[in-house]
Amino acid sequence: MQYFLTVAEELHFGRAAERLHIVQSAVSQQITRLERELGVALFERTTRTVRLTEGGRRLLPHAEQVLAAVTQARAAIDDLRVERTGTIRLGTSTGLGTRLENILVAFAHRAPHAHLELVDADTEIRMKRVRSGELDAAIVRGPRDEPGLELLPLWSDRLVAAIPARHDLAVLREIDLARLARLPLRLVGRTRNPTLYDLVVDSCREAGFAPAFGPEFTTEQDTLAAIGFGAPSWTVYYATQAANLSFPGVVWRPLRNPEPRMPSYLAVPPDPPRAELRALIEACHAVTD
């Protein structure tokens, strides 16, 4: 269509070839193919003149529309490319608390003309999307082996215990982990969150006991209601998350001996980061423990 329009404008195969920066024979071949496909001659050719046939005149406005649509399509993709160049898509994790707010502020300071798009998804989905390029980066908790990705260390989150407000341990400012040995632990199953499960179980063993598991942590509302008003039990929260929670009958207390801490990482592709991603990495590193 581009060749046809150029010849229709020039009415000369030689000048059309010059405009298209190709040899004249290539223009003639393409026009011949188009005529063969349409089953009609588009140009009347003599040794002196080139003129549009009736078929060529009828095709002309449609060819212009086709080329205009192609131009608009390319412009739309160019706009998307520009938009994405200034947009960073970050996969987030639950319980980030004020850390996420601090990242947003630090990123806006470092890249004032860029946009940070937050995407909430399960850990494995976040990792898959970073590999595919759907996400530029993702925050993940716990050490892991992620082939094809680079994990940049960030901060570590302290775990706190959620216990019944009526329990004797609630009067303490901090709780030795061993003192929770007789209380059933309500924790997510290992298949749902292996890094958290392993951290809590290993910390209990370091404190000298194997945890007695109660019912699994289901929803936040149901689990905290059971802790606050059911048979005594306990669970864990990230301190940054617990700082913004309030639930009747439940208190949150820091743990010690040992103090469980969950490290966090920023998963990124191993390629050199573009300016906006570099600004995000710096913003995340600016958030400390």
Residue 82 — pLDDT band, cuts 50, 70, 90? low
| 31 and 169 assigned to the same domain | no
**Whole-angstrom distance, CA of residue 91 vs CA of residue 133:** 12
| 171 and 250 assigned to the same domain | yes
Q: Are 7 and 43 in contact (CB under 8 A)?
A: yes
- Closest by CA position to 160, among listed 181, 145, 174: 174
Q: Are 242 and 234 in contact (CB under 8 A)?
A: no
pLDDT digits (tens, 9 = 90+) for 166-175: 999 999 999 9
200-215 burial code (b ≥16 CB/10 A, e <16): bbebbeebeeebeebe
Q: What is the CATH number of the domain that holds 232?
A: 3.40.190.10
**Whole-angstrom distance, CA of residue 48 vs CA of residue 44:** 11
pLDDT at 84: 58
Which residue do the tokens 């898959």 mark? 128
Domain span holding position 212: 156-262
| 166 and 253 assigned to the same domain | yes
What's the whole-number average pLDDT of the chain? 91
| 253 and 165 assigned to the same domain | yes
Interior CA angle at 258 toward 193 and 139, to 5°?
A: 35
Per-residue pLDDT, averaged over 215-230, amounts to 94
**288, pLDDT greater than 80:** no
pLDDT at 202: 96
| 68 and 3 assigned to the same domain | yes
Into how many domains does the chain fold?
3
| 209 and 139 assigned to the same domain | no
Residue 215 — pLDDT band, cuts 50, 70, 90? very high
| 248 and 131 assigned to the same domain | no
SS (H, E, C) 208-273: CCCCCECCCCCCHHHHHHHHHHCCCCEEEEEHHHHCCCCCCCEEEEEEECCCCEEEEEEEECCCCC
| 47 and 169 assigned to the same domain | no
| 273 and 257 assigned to the same domain | no
pLDDT digits (tens, 9 = 90+) for 195-206: 999 999 999 999
pLDDT at 289: 59
| 143 and 11 assigned to the same domain | no
Q: What is the CATH number of the domain that holds 1?
A: 1.10.10.10
Model-level pTM greater than 0.75?
Answer: no
**76, pLDDT greater than 60:** yes
Q: Which of 26, 53, 79 is the last residue of a domain?
A: 79
Q: Which amino acid type is present at position 74?
A: R
Q: Which of 33, 48, 79 is the last residue of a domain?
A: 79
Choose between 177 and 123: higher pLDDT: 177
| 252 and 177 assigned to the same domain | yes
